[in-house]
Amino acid sequence: MQWSEAERNFCATKNTKNSVPHVPLHFCIPNFIAIKKERRKESCMKFVKIFFVMTILTTLSAFAAFAEKPTLMMATTTSTDNTGLLDYLAPHFQKATGIELRWTATGTGKALKLGESCDVDVLMVHAPAAEKKYVADGFGVNRREIMYNDFVIIGLEADPAGLKGKSVNDALNTVRSRKAVFVSRGDNSGTNKKEIFLWKSAGLPVPEKESWYVQTGQGMLASVRIAAERGGYIMTDRGTYIKYEANMKGKPLLKILVEGETTLNNQYSVITINPKHCPKAKYDLAEKFSAWVTGPGAQQLIRDFKLLDKPLFTPNAK
């Protein structure tokens, strides 16, 4: 319906002096309804616009808060990840410092390379000789010892090669002479470096292509599972063995056969990436982690970390 100027004036002024008297009142009713609908529509649109703007602002604020959260990237050995130690420590570290700890778990050799290529900010590794050279070469600073466990040689309870109770040297000589299946990580990890050292210390050539020597190229827990499948022997750190034992509900297929010698000690350390070599590395955050993990609170957390009521690591920060 088209409204005349007189009708619009009449309805707007409600019969004041300026209205048009001859316009019937019933013309005004639809106009009042239309005006109310129009105002209601305008109010609704304003509400939608305000809600939309507020939603965008809230989302942007959330993204900004997430982006501003400090994060620290660490390269570490598989044993600290496989055992669940880092999942246990990380929330405590974030609560104490506000820093989110993220990590990639790999062999120590690859972890050192990740630091050398400036892909991470801090390292947690377990190959002391390689670590000291790494620092001397200018790639890392402030190497600090944090904890240790030990290596053990495990195998089937039947022990077909008869390794149980032997010294490390005698056990490895027996493995070679009997051509018993021996599984190695073969990945330049801290465990693999220690294994190579032990072969050499026993006066033996390091196996490589022998049919009885199986190189997995995988992490510690995965390699233990392969040894169990092959019915072979393998060297692992005690923490990973306890995790394997727990996974098997206390009834592992592989048992500890060789243990207890000082040469089997397994030291873990934290190393901050050298900011002179990697200017974009988060040196300050890495140093906060180093100070925290070697401090009394974190050292107690490491001491309390157990599976099957057995400690996986022993803290020894100085």
Q: Is the pLDDT assigned to residue 109 strictly greater than 80?
A: yes
> According to the model, what pLDDT value does residue 69 have?
87
> According to the model, what pLDDT value does residue 10 have?
46
CATH superfamily of 70-148+268-315: Periplasmic binding protein-like II (3.40.190.10)
* 149-264 classified as CATH 1.20.140.10: no
Q: Note whether 220 and 174 are within 8 A (CB).
A: no
Distance CA 302, CA 291 (A): 14
Per-residue model confidence as pLDDT tens digits over 184-232? 999 999 999 999 999 999 999 999 999 999 999 999 999 999 999 999 9
> According to the model, what pLDDT value does residue 46 have?
65
The pTM of the full predicted model, rounded to 2 decimals, is 0.78
Distance CA 3, CA 220 (A): 86
Per-residue model confidence as pLDDT tens digits over 34-66? 555 566 666 656 655 666 666 676 666 555 445
Q: Boundaries of CATH 3.40.190.10 in the chain?
A: 70-148+268-315, 149-264
Q: What rounded mean pLDDT belongs to the chain?
A: 88
Burial of 89 (0-12, 13-18, 19+ CB in 10 A): buried
Q: Is the pLDDT assigned to residue 8 strictly greater than 80?
A: no
Least confident of 6-10, 180-184, 262-266: 6-10
SS3 content of the chain, % helix, strand, coil (to 5): 50, 20, 30
Burial of 100 (0-12, 13-18, 19+ CB in 10 A): middle
> According to the model, what pLDDT value does residue 15 have?
47
b/e map of 172-193 (b: 16 or more CB within 10 Å)?
bbebbeeebbbbbbbbbbbbbb
Per-residue model confidence as pLDDT tens digits over 119-142? 999 999 999 999 999 999 999 999
